């Protein structure tokens, strides 16, 4: 089964979906985003809204209750929400990476068991890859899952996991054969849950460590998972029913994550540009609006061109995802360029705003704090450039 079989929707249907998102943002998100952000408060009501809007099943096939949206439509939704409050997009992005792994690689039994629960938001989660000593180098993970009869017994620690504390489960990258060579052949992916999906009773052997304090990306919880003798049923939890395919699954799940990160970056850049254009026309120096000063015009011109270029790269990556096949290069290019653009545009916006940009009364300081994460999340930009180069050579062999 393909990772994603997007439903064919008309332009009018897409417009209706985007309109409903816009209304929700205006009526529900905008009035509370600043307070929740500065208080680093979990947005419980907005999470419930997102479940009702179907965002936890946005790209899950309709046969499991999802909306089955194309990555193109999905990325446009992400851009809109990220313009208002980027943190919200991370709550369903991490969740959808987990769902994508199950949809693409899971057995039919696993899809039927997990995906309907993911779609409703009844079981929310993320992707459990990063460890204290393993980030971009996924093959360096130390979390181990040992087969014991019909179960796996898991021991290890994961960190920087989105939805770890307020969520319920994660697609966990583990070593099922720690001695395998090359290392990636000994890696598998498990669905692990803090609660029994049917009875909702807490399970033993799995706990959360501390909630991680962050520069930006407030509201969403980033935390630790600690596994100490945690047991899960192999039939339901070993994704695909076969060991040794976890590394492939992890990288497959990251593809839609990188499209999401790129779309978030565009949302940040668009908001920074929009605020800057408005401010530049109202703020006056030397007897005229600063928008009439050439120094500001040069900044706005660069910001506008790069923001639009980033948006087009996101559309290119999303279309490639919808077409099927590998999109390492397309997703890498979009993620790299859009995230660097977000940082540059947010920084220039702060300079345009001057001292007011540094104030918490304005949204600029939040955009300035949120943007750098886009260069790190779902694979560093240094790694993206290497991936782009390798794919460029692979696709143009001589």
How does pLDDT run across 143-180, given as a tens digit for each residue?
999 999 999 999 999 999 999 999 999 999 999 999 99
Q: In this structure, is residue 5 part of a structural domain?
A: no
Return d(Cα 60, Cα 55) in angstroms, integer: 10
Q: Are residues 141 and 271 in the same domain?
A: no
Q: Which helix (H) or strand (E) holds 170?
A: strand 169-175
Q: Are residues 113 and 237 in the same domain?
A: no
Q: Are residues 77 and 64 in the same domain?
A: yes
Q: Are residues 266 and 212 in the same domain?
A: no
Find all residues with CB under 8 Å of 287, minimum gap 6, and list them: none
How confident is the model at residue 5, as a pLDDT?
65
Q: What are phi and psi of 243, to 5 degrees?
A: -75, 160
Residue 163: give its domain's CATH number.
2.40.110.10
Three-class SS state of 131: strand
Q: What predicted TM-score, i.e. pTM, was given to this entire model?
A: 0.94
Q: In this structure, is residue 36 part of a structural domain?
A: yes
Q: Are residues 253 and 360 in the same domain?
A: yes
Structural domain including 387 reads 248-394
Beta bridge mates, 187: 175
Q: In this structure, is residue 6 part of a structural domain?
A: no
Q: In this structure, is residue 48 part of a structural domain?
A: yes
Provide the token pair at 82. Answer: 């990220």
Residue 34: give its domain's CATH number.
1.10.540.10
Q: Are residues 41 and 99 in the same domain?
A: yes
Q: What's the average model confidence in pLDDT over 243-249? A: 94
Return d(Cα 210, Cα 191) in angstroms, integer: 21
What is the CB neighbour count within 10 angstroms for residue 382?
12
- Find, among 254, 276, 278, 301, the residue nearest to 367 by Cα: 276
Q: What are phi and psi of 92, to 5 degrees?
A: -90, -20
What pLDDT digit, counting tens, does each position of 75-113 carry? 999 999 999 999 999 999 999 999 999 999 999 999 999
Q: How many CA atoms lie within 13 A of 141 on its CB side?
A: 32
Provide the token pair at 240. Answer: 């695909």
Q: Are residues 243 and 253 in the same domain?
A: no
What is the average pLDDT score of the chain?
A: 95
What pLDDT digit, counting tens, does each position of 175-220 carry? 999 999 999 999 999 999 999 999 999 999 999 988 999 999 999 9
Angle formed by the axes of helices 328-353 and 364-376, nearest 10°: 150
Domain end call among 247, 281, 309: 247
Q: Are residues 322 and 350 in the same domain?
A: yes
Cα Rg of the chain, angstroms? 21
Q: Is the pLDDT of residue 8 over 70?
A: no
Domain end call among 92, 120, 148: 120
Three-class SS state of 245: coil
Q: Are residues 345 and 383 in the same domain?
A: yes
Three-class SS state of 217: coil
Q: In this structure, is residue 270 part of a structural domain?
A: yes
Confidence of residue 1 (pLDDT cuts 50, 70, 90): very low
Q: What are phi and psi of 170, to 5 degrees?
A: -155, 155
Catalytic residue, chosen from 37, 52, 378, 382, is 378
Three-class SS state of 346: helix
Q: In this structure, is residue 2 part of a structural domain?
A: no
Q: Is the pLDDT of residue 57 over 60?
A: yes
Please confirm, yes or no, whether 378 is among the known catalytic residues: yes
Confidence of residue 135 (pLDDT cuts 50, 70, 90): confident
Q: In this structure, is residue 1 part of a structural domain?
A: no
Q: What are phi and psi of 173, to 5 degrees?
A: -85, 125
- Find, among 261, 276, 260, the residue nearest to 351 by Cα: 276
Question: Is the Cα torsion angle 21, 364, 260, 302 positive or negative in sign?
Answer: positive
- Find, among 287, 351, 267, the residue nearest to 81 by Cα: 267
Q: What's the average model confidence in pLDDT over 227-235? A: 97
Q: What's the average model confidence in pLDDT over 295-300? A: 98
Share of the chain above pLDDT 90, in %: 91
Between the CA of residue 185 and those of 172, 314, 325, what are the distances in Å? 16, 32, 21
Domain end call among 224, 247, 270: 247
Q: Is the pLDDT of residue 136 over 80?
A: no
Q: In this structure, is residue 3 part of a structural domain?
A: no
Q: What are phi and psi of 384, to 5 degrees?
A: -60, -40
- Find, among 55, 110, 118, the residue nearest to 260 by Cα: 55
Residue 339: give its domain's CATH number.
1.20.140.10
- Find, among 130, 228, 248, 235, the residue nearest to 187 by Cα: 248
What is the CB neighbour count within 10 angstroms for residue 210?
9
Peptide bond into 182 cis (omega under 30): yes
b vs e for 44-70, b when ≥16 Cβ sit within 10 Å of the residue's Cβ?
eebbebbbebbbbbbbbbeebbbbbbb
Q: Are residues 106 and 22 in the same domain?
A: yes
How confident is the model at residue 2, as a pLDDT?
46
Return d(Cα 1, Cα 96) in angstroms, integer: 17
Return d(Cα 145, Cα 128) in angstroms, integer: 14
Q: Are residues 219 and 261 in the same domain?
A: no
Question: What dihedral do alpha carbons 332, 334, 340, 342 form, nearest 10°?
Answer: -140
How confident is the model at residue 4, as a pLDDT?
59
Q: Are residues 340 and 204 in the same domain?
A: no
Between the CA of residue 364 and those of 28, 80, 163, 348, what are the distances in Å? 20, 17, 26, 10
Give the number of domains in the chain: 3
Find all residues with CB under 8 Å of 290, minimum gap 6, and list them: 280, 283, 284, 296, 352
How confident is the model at residue 251, as a pLDDT?
84
């Amino acid at each position: 089964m393909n990772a994603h079989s997007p439903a064919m929707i008309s332009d009018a249907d897409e417009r209706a979906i985007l309109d409903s998102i816009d209304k929700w943002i205006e009526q529900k998100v905008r009035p509370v985003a600043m307070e929740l952000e500065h208080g680093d408060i979990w947005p419980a009501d907005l999470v419930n809204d997102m479940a009702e809007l179907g965002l936890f099943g946005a790209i899950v096939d309709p046969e499991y209750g999802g909306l089955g949206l194309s990555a193109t439509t999905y990325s446009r939704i992400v851009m809109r929400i990220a313009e208002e409050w980027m943190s919200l997009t991370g709550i369903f992005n991490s969740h959808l990476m987990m769902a994508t792994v199950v949809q693409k690689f899971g057995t039919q039994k696993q899809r039927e068991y997990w995906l309907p629960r993911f779609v409703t938001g009844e079981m929310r989660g993320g992707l459990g890859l990063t460890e204290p000593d393993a980030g971009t180098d996924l093959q360096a993970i130390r979390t181990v899952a040992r087969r014991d009869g019909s179960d796996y017994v898991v021991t290890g620690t994961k960190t920087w996991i989105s939805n770890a504390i307020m969520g319920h489960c994660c697609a966990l990258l583990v070593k099922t054969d720690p001695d395998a060579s090359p290392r990636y052949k000994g890696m598998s992916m498990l669905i692990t849950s803090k609660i029994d999906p049917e009875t909702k009773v807490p399970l033993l052997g799995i706990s959360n460590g501390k909630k991680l304090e962050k520069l930006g990306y407030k509201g969403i919880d980033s935390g630790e998972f600690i596994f100490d003798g945690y047991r899960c049923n192999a039939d339901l939890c070993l994704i695909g029913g076969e060991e040794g395919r976890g590394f492939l699954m992890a990288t497959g799940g990251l593809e839609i994550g990188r499209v999401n990160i790129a779309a978030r970056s565009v949302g940040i850049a668009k908001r920074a540009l929009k605020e800057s254009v408005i401010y530049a026309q109202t703020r006056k120096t030397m007897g005229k609006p600063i928008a009439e000063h050439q120094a500001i015009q040069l900044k706005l011109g660069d910001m506008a061109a790069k923001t639009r270029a980033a948006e087009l790269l996101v559309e290119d990556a999303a279309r490639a995802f919808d077409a099927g096949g590998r999109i390492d290069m397309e997703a890498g290019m979009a993620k790299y360029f859009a995230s660097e653009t977000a940082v540059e545009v947010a920084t220039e916006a702060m300079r345009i705003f001057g001292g007011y940009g540094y104030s918490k009364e304005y949204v600029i300081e939040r955009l300035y704090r949120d943007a750098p994460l886009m260069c790190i999340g779902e694979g560093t930009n240094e790694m993206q450039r290497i991936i782009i180069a390798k794919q460029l050579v692979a696709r143009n062999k001589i």
